[in-house]
């Protein structure tokens, strides 16, 4: 493949208008228990498909290795009415502003869960991190599982040991510490992947 034929790296604007559009439609409920109703929103003026983002989020939250494996968490995407949280993909500047209103410093690089906002930094959504650079789709699952994990009151944990899967609640963007990449809270046998609690 010639250099000019390579797909160009997505351009990530530093900031945007701070207004959002909600993905239309709704999903079936996934998981047992009372469903947490959520909206998927994308900041205006971004070159992202609302439908595609919503489809990816639904797929992640509905995966059997996701939070529904705890036997009590359930999710349903909606586009109107009462919601428990909004999952919002936004430019780094807008994420910093919204997260900062809740005392969280995302420094143009990170995502956050703040009150009813699960904020996804467009830079991470499009470019992942060096460890996941060749599998951006997997990293998107890590973003959603980590930040929704915070919404479900899960705190940060560390690497449980060299060569073991990194917990979804580990801040993998800050280093793997001997763990191997993993984006799911549970393994295929329904075991929770965790490690020592960290501040």
Mean pLDDT of 113-141: 97
Mean pLDDT of the chain, nearest integer? 95
**Any domain includes 177:** no
Range of the domain at 118: 22-154
Domain CATH number, residue 143: 3.40.390
**Any domain includes 59:** yes
Residue 162 has pLDDT above 80, yes or no: yes
| 3-state DSSP helix/strand/coil % of the chain, to nearest 5 | 30, 20, 50
Number of domains into which the chain is organized:
1
pLDDT in tens, 2-49: 445 555 778 899 999 999 999 999 999 999 999 999 999 999 999 999
Tell which residue, 157, 147, 163, 141, has the closest CA to residue 193: 157
Per-residue confidence (pLDDT) for residue 132, from 0 to 100 = 97
Are the beta carbons of 116 and 83 closer than 8 angstroms?
Answer: yes
**Any domain includes 131:** yes
Tokens of 55: 């489809």
pLDDT in tens, 103-125: 999 999 999 999 999 999 999 99
Tokens of 168: 């979804």
**Any domain includes 44:** yes
Q: What percentage of the chain has pLDDT greater than the value 90?
A: 93
Query: b/e map of 96-133 (b: 16 or more CB within 10 Å)?
Result: bebbeeeebebeeebbbbbeebbbbbbbbbbbbbebbe
**Any domain includes 146:** yes
Per-residue confidence (pLDDT) for residue 71, from 0 to 100 = 95
Per-residue confidence (pLDDT) for residue 5, from 0 to 100 = 52
**What's the predicted TM-score (pTM) here?**
0.94
Q: What percentage of the chain has pLDDT greater than the value 70?
A: 96
pLDDT band at 196, cuts 50/70/90? very high
Residue 159 and residue 198: Cα distance in Å, rounded? 10
């Amino acid at each position: 493949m010639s250099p000019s034929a390579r797909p160009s790296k997505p351009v990530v604007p530093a900031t945007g208008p701070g207004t959002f559009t909600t993905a239309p439609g709704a999903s079936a409920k996934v998981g047992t228990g009372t469903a947490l109703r959520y909206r998927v929103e994308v900041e205006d003026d971004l070159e992202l498909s609302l439908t595609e983002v919503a489809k990816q989020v639904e797929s992640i939250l509905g995966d059997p290795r996701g939070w529904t494996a705890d036997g009590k968490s359930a999710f349903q995407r909606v586009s109107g009415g009462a919601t428990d949280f909004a999952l919002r993909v936004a430019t780094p500047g807008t994420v910093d502003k919204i997260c900062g209103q809740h005392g969280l410093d995302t420094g143009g690089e990170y995502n956050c869960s703040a009150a009813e906002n699960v904020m996804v930094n467009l830079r991470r959504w499009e470019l992942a991190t060096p460890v996941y650079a060749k599998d951006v789709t997997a990293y998107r699952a890590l973003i959603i599982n980590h930040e929704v994990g915070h919404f479900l009151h899960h705190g940060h944990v560390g690497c449980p040991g060299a060569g073991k899967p990194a917990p979804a609640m580990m801040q993998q963007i800050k280093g793997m510490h001997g763990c191997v990449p993993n984006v799911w809270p549970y393994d295929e046998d329904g075991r929770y992947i965790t490690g020592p609690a960290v501040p």
